[in-house]
Amino acid sequence: MLKKENIKLGIAPLTWSNDDMPELLGKDIPFEQCVSEMALAGFEGTEVGRKYPADVNDLNKALSIRGLTICNAWFSSFLTTEPYEKTLESFIEKCDFLKAAGSNNIGACEQGHSIQGKMDTPVLTEKPVFTDEEWDKLCLGLNKLAEVAKGKGMVLGYHHHMGTGVQTIEEIDRLMENTSDDVHLLYDSGHALFAGIDPVYLLKKYANRVNHVHLKDIRMDVFENKVKKENLSFLNSVVEGVFTVPGDGCIDFSPIFDVLEDVDYKGWMLVEAEQDPAKANPLEYAIKARNYIKEKTGV
């Protein structure tokens, strides 16, 4: 069993409203409902969503009265396509915001050439592939950003993600092999399986560099019968319901929890499942995930 004192549990706001498709998924669900239901379901942390207050004092007040805190936030880097200085400026701004919100994690994902936000571009067959020069820019830039984060008492975790240049196991390996140990891995079980990677294998391989964990499940029937057969984009895959919470899909999370226990993982485990709230009631699924984690881990 995982040690309760080592683990904090959070849930992402994507279950309530989707940042990539704000007008389509969860448009009418307010921030206050989202964070109130997170707390009601038994979680203690959340990542930053688009509807969250931009003023960090307002954000902290709204979360603290619900017993919540910020544990991480997405950061879009453009190291392969834009000057490093441009990414650095926005990175420092995001780090400072997160630090003020009580978080020491920042989750970077390279968005140069990304197709994850393109509604009609198939994610499995038309993903970007970086050139050697772009790989050099990415790895060098991440090393520099990790040093900046470290200087602020923070940790940079890289989020492997569908529709980007770091999606496959070969690409994750290349990133890990060519960056310093200060560049950690934001491990995501759902994105691993979606990309054809055994989630347990990936975690075992890089467990000692994982700083943040996303617990995301896959509906395999949707993946096989819709995503693959119709060659869907990432966003249309989400709309069709390819993702769900732990305990509702095909992934057995027990071996994942075992690996985290074996390496004495200390940090956040965050439930993340982009879904259509009109089809999958957010509170219901949040409670389902929380009960599943408790059943499997005792946490």
Please check whether residue 263 is in contact with residue 2, taking contact to mean a CB–CB distance below 8 angstroms.
no
CA–CA–CA angle 9, 96, 113 (5° rounding): 80
Q: How far apart are CA 184 and CA 117, in angstroms?
A: 24
Residue 206 tokens, joined: 């890089």
The distance from CA 278 to its chain's CA centroid, rounded to whole angstroms, is: 22
Can you give the pLDDT at residue 19? Answer: 87
Task: Render each residue's pLDDT in the chain as its tens digit; 299 residues.
Answer: 898 999 999 999 999 999 888 888 989 999 999 999 999 999 999 999 999 999 999 999 999 999 999 999 999 999 999 999 999 999 999 999 999 999 999 999 999 999 999 999 999 999 999 999 999 999 999 999 999 999 999 999 999 999 999 999 999 999 999 999 999 999 999 999 999 999 999 999 999 999 999 999 999 999 999 999 999 999 999 999 999 999 999 999 999 999 999 999 999 999 999 999 999 999 999 999 999 999 999 99
- 252 CB burial (10 A radius; 0-12, 13-18, 19+): middle
pTM confidence score: 0.97
| Domains of the chain by residue range | 4-297
Can you give the pLDDT at residue 22? Answer: 81
- Measured between alpha carbons, how far is residue 205 from residues 197, 210, 259, 293 in Å? 12, 10, 10, 23
Tell me how crowded residue 99 is: count the other CB atoms within 10 A of its CB.
17
Tell me how crowded residue 153 is: count the other CB atoms within 10 A of its CB.
9
Name the class of domain 4-297.
alpha beta
Closest residue by Cα to residue 108 from 76, 85, 144, 80: 76
